Amino acid sequence: MFYDLHIHSALSPCANDDMTPNNIVNMAKLLKLDVIAITDHNSVSQQAVLHKVAKRKDMRLIYGIEVQTTEEVHILCYFQKLDDCLVFGKIINDNLIPIKNDIRYFGHQLIMNENDEVIAEEPKLLLNSVLFTVEEVCDLAHQHCGSFVLAHVLDRNNSIITQLGFIPLHLEFDGIEVKSVIEKNKILQTHPWIKDTVWLFNSDAHYLTDINDAVNQISQEELNRLWRNGS
């Protein structure tokens, strides 16, 4: 299955306002992707509508969110069930540092319906940290049958390597997101104890044109392994 499991919708302040539910799903169709996940910063408010749109257009959708921990590390959490995702998302949103979004600096945080009409705007700034550590987010995701994936691990901003120097030895992550095989090899070289994890090559798209072409494939079996620690 061709995949891209890290795409931002217009709900993320940093994403382009053209990242509407229909545009994303249509673009994924055009690119011949088989499965996608839309992971907005610290919010799941667009997931239910995305579910409807994806279903209508016969696109497989995994529910997701990109959480920013207290240490300012970005984590992708994935869910197989919408309900689990919504419950987890509410806990994240309730524990997000309460600062109002200033659209002049950060951009709009648009919530849309299945016709791409803006129905609300998230008032709280989503580009912020929650009051949970990396380990706490990991436990919380697993408690809600979710998966815990270290996002863009070698990026200069908000990666676990930048923030915490290296991947903690006892962290029970389910996957690692990298940009290239070179990055994957770098991580393996510097973390020889990592033997068995799921490697994801995602786009982290903030614009429609950034979404991955159908180049990265994952088997159903490998995809299932993302949830091996969820209870």
Partner 1 sequence: MRVKDIAEKTDWRLFADDNSKENEVQGAFVGDLLSWVMGHSSPKQAWITVQAHVNVIAVGVLREFACLIICQDSQLSDDMIQQAKEENLPIFLTDMSAFDVCRKLIELGV
Which stretches of the chain bind partner 1, using CB under 8 A? 71, 133-134, 161-166, 168
Least distance (Å) from partner 1 to the CB of residue 206?
23
- Dihedral (C-alpha) 75, 80, 85, 87: value to the nearest 10 degrees? -130
In angstroms, rounded to a whole number, what is the distance separating the alpha carbons of residues 71 and 81? 28
Least distance (Å) from partner 1 to the CB of residue 139?
13
Of 143 and 163, CB closest to partner 1: 163
Of 63 and 173, CB closest to partner 1: 173
Least distance (Å) from partner 1 to the CB of residue 179?
17
Least distance (Å) from partner 1 to the CB of residue 168?
6
Where do the DSSP E strands lie in the chain?
3-7, 35-38, 60-68, 74-79, 110-112, 118-121, 146-150, 175-178, 198-201
Of 71 and 114, CB closest to partner 1: 71
Query: Is residue 207 helix, strand or coil?
Result: coil
Query: Is residue 122 helix, strand or coil?
Result: coil
Which residues lie below 8 Å from residue 36, measured CB to CB, with a gap of 6+?
3, 4, 5, 7, 24, 25, 28, 54, 59, 60, 61, 62
In terms of residues, how long is the chain?
231
Least distance (Å) from partner 1 to the CB of residue 192?
15
Q: How far is CA 31 from CA 27, 38, 40, 180, in A?
A: 6, 16, 21, 20
- Cα first-last separation, the chain: 25
Of 100 and 156, CB closest to partner 1: 156
Least distance (Å) from partner 1 to the CB of residue 153?
11
Residue with tokens 């959490």: 77
Of 157 and 231, CB closest to partner 1: 157
Contact 92, 79 (CB under 8 A): no
Of 165 and 192, CB closest to partner 1: 165
